[in-house]
């Protein structure tokens, strides 16, 4: 008998099934197109205790009870179709696990529908791509805790481990797991955009080529910025194109694509009223990059500051950009964690933010040395309002801000777009201000719409009859 089934044997399902088998778990395999099951058995059948199934009936007969089925199918309607395909053959208490990148409100809906049938449902984020799935991903499971307990030994064993701790922990009920994965992906968008801006700045302001930039990122990976994304940036920049002999990055088309998790993260932040500027700018930057034809036209039409800049950027710009990247990254993470706290309050998930940072230290795409700092910050102060207020981050921002501002001056003078760098600094500068120009915003709103305003010196709401007698009147 198998202890778990994997349904959906594309990149992720195939590698997770192999990972489970490598850890000694007997795994049943099923896929809508059964040829994939046969291909899997031919290629990997000897790696572990695999049992192929060609129908849902065959699959359920192979599984120990309560049955545990990990679905790794394309997000969206395929998940509903797979549930509908399998559920009629399952018994009360059996557990369906959706390990794809599902939208968290779909997970809430599916959880309720599945539980109404007497089954149990787990919606789990899995990060790490192909390699992570095979060698140890970061796993973010959400749903009923009793269902999680039934799969915990498997999920923790196949997850990545850092300092002997698994990169898997129970996240919370309902859609909590997929929500946290969505914010993870949003932060990944922001991280990638910040790296791209650093690359763009150094290549344009200092005229550095891909090989030199590859060396710079490799150097940065030995310091505070040490992370998977910085490491692979160095590798991508160092790669030569076989066909042309040029750096491969120079022949890759500059149109970024996306699958939607960053957009969902931004949409949810807007719904929650949380200023998640770095992720949202990263999503917008991808949209703008996709307007290639428009940009090509505009590049010949719209004026920039080129030619006006005579002074060469100093070589110290490299260090400044490193500091600016680190500071902007801290803002992106602070915003993402604030968003998760807001969602936790809104949906009553009781998220443990320090534990989330802990399970992102290994396996996932945003794994980074500095996640330890986030775990430490929440360990010291579990009700921390904003990561930037924690002593480590407060001090790191204070020491990076000079470089950050110099970098933005260089970018603005030279017309180099740095939306994530600059919106992160604007967020920092706004967040640390006790008085913002929202007083004028309120005055204008009251002028044209009688929306009223509050005063700094008296309680209550007020309206001024701006264009009539100019009198201020209290609003009840």
Question: Which of these segments, 4-12, 160-168, 206-214, 304-312, binds ligand NBP (CB under 6 A)?
Answer: 4-12
Among 4, 5, 6, 9, binds ligand NBP (CB under 6 A): 9
Please name every residue paired with 7 in a beta bridge, in sequence order, or none if there are none. Answer: 30, 71
Going by C-alpha positions, the residue among 287, 324, 284, 283 that lies closest to residue 198 is 324
Q: Which of 11, 149, 244, 345 binds ligand NBP (CB under 6 A)?
A: 11
Contact call for residue 100 and ligand NBP (CB under 6 A) = yes
Q: At what angle do helices 317-347 and 261-272 cross, to 10 degrees?
A: 60
Residue of 188, 197, 281, 338 with catalytic role: 188
Torsion on CA atoms 257, 263, 265, 270, rounded to nearest 10: 150
Q: Which helix (H) or strand (E) holds 448?
A: helix 438-449
Binding-residue pattern over the window 115 to 134 for ligand NBP, x denoting contact by CB under 6 A: -----------xx-xx----
Query: Nearest-CA neighbor of 227 among 276, 260, 262, 192?
Result: 192
CA distance 108 to 102: 10
Give the residue with the Cβ less far from ligand NBP, 33 or 399.
33
Residue closer to ligand NBP (CB basis): 33 or 461: 33
> Residue 213, Cα to own-chain centre: how many angstroms?
25
Q: Say whether residue 142 binds ligand NBP (CB under 6 A).
A: no
235 is catalytic: no
Residue nearest to ligand NBP (CB): 100
What x/- string results for residues 274 through 313 when contact with ligand NBP is judged by CB under 6 A?
----------------------------------------
Can you tell me which of 19, 51, 82, 268 binds ligand NBP, judged by CB under 6 A?
82
Q: Which of 8, 166, 247, 419 binds ligand NBP (CB under 6 A)?
A: 8
- Catalytic residue check, 197: no
Q: Which is nearer to ligand NBP, 58 or 413 (CB)?
A: 58
Contact 212, 205 (CB under 8 A): no
Strand partners, 453: 462
What residues numbered 40-79 form the site for ligand NBP, per CB under 6 A? 72-75, 78
List of long-range contacts for 76-80, beta carbons under 8 Å, 24+ apart: 76/102, 76/106, 79/106, 79/110, 80/110
Report the alpha-carbon distance of residue 28 to residue 64 in Å, rounded.
11
Report the site for ligand NBP in 198-237 (rule: CB under 6 A). none
- Interface with ligand NBP (CB under 6 A): 8-13, 31-33, 36, 72-75, 78, 81-82, 100-101, 126-127, 129-130
């Amino acid at each position: 008998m198998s202890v778990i089934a994997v349904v959906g044997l594309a990149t992720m399902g195939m590698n997770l099934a192999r990972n489970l088998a490598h850890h000694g778990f007997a795994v049943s395999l099923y896929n809508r197109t059964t040829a994939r099951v046969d291909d899997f058995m031919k290629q990997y059948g000897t790696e572990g205790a695999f049992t192929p199934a060609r129908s849902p009936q065959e699959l359920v007969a192979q599984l120990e009870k309560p049955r545990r089925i990990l679905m790794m199918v394309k997000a969206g309607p395929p998940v509903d179709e797979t549930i509908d395909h399998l559920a009629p053959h399952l018994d009360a208490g059996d557990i369906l696990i959706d390990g794809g990148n599902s939208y968290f409100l779909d997970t809430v809906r599916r959880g309720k529908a599945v539980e109404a049938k007497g089954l149990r449902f787990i919606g789990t984020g899995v990060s790490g791509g192909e390699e992570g799935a095979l060698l140890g991903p970061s796993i973010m499971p959400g749903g009923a805790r009793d269902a999680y307990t039934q799969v915990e030994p498997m999920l923790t064993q196949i997850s990545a481990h850092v300092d002997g701790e698994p990169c898997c922990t129970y996240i919370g009920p309902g859609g909590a797991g997929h929500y946290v994965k969505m914010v993870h992906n949003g932060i990944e968008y922001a991280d990638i955009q910040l790296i791209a801006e650093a690359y763009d700045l150094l290549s344009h302001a200092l005229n550095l080529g891909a090989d030199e930039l590859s060396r710079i990122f490799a150097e940065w990976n030995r310091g505070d910025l040490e992370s998977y994304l910085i490491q692979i940036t160095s590798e991508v920049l160092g790669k030569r194109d076989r066909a042309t002999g040029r750096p491969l990055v120079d022949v890759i088309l500059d149109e970024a694509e996306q699958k939607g998790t960053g957009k969902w993260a931004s949409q949810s932040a807007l719904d929650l009223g949380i200023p998640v500027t770095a992720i949202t700018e990263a999503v917008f930057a991808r949209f703008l990059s996709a307007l290639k034809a428009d940009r090509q036209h505009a590049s010949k039409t719209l004026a920039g500051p080129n030619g006006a800049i005579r002074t060469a950027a100093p070589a110290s710009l490299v260090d400044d950009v490193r500091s600016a990247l680190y500071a902007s990254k801290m803002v992106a993470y602070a915003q993402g964690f604030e968003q998760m706290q807001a969602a936790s309050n809104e949906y009553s998930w009781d998220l443990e933010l320090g534990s989330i940072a802990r399970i992102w230290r290994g396996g996932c795409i945003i794994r980074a040395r500095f996640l330890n700092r986030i775990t430490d910050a929440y360990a010291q102060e579990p009700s921390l309002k904003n990561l930037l207020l924690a002593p480590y981050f407060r001090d790191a921002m204070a020491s990076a801000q000079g470089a950050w501002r110099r970098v933005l001056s260089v970018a603005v003078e030279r017309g180099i777009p740095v939306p994530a760098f600059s919106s992160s600094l604007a967020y920092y500068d706004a967040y640390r201000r006790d008085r913002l120009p929202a007083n004028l915003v309120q005055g204008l709103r009251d002028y044209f719409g009688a929306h009223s305003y509050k005063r700094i010196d008296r309680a209550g709401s007020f309206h001024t009859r701006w264009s009539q007698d100019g009198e201020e009147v209290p609003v009840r």
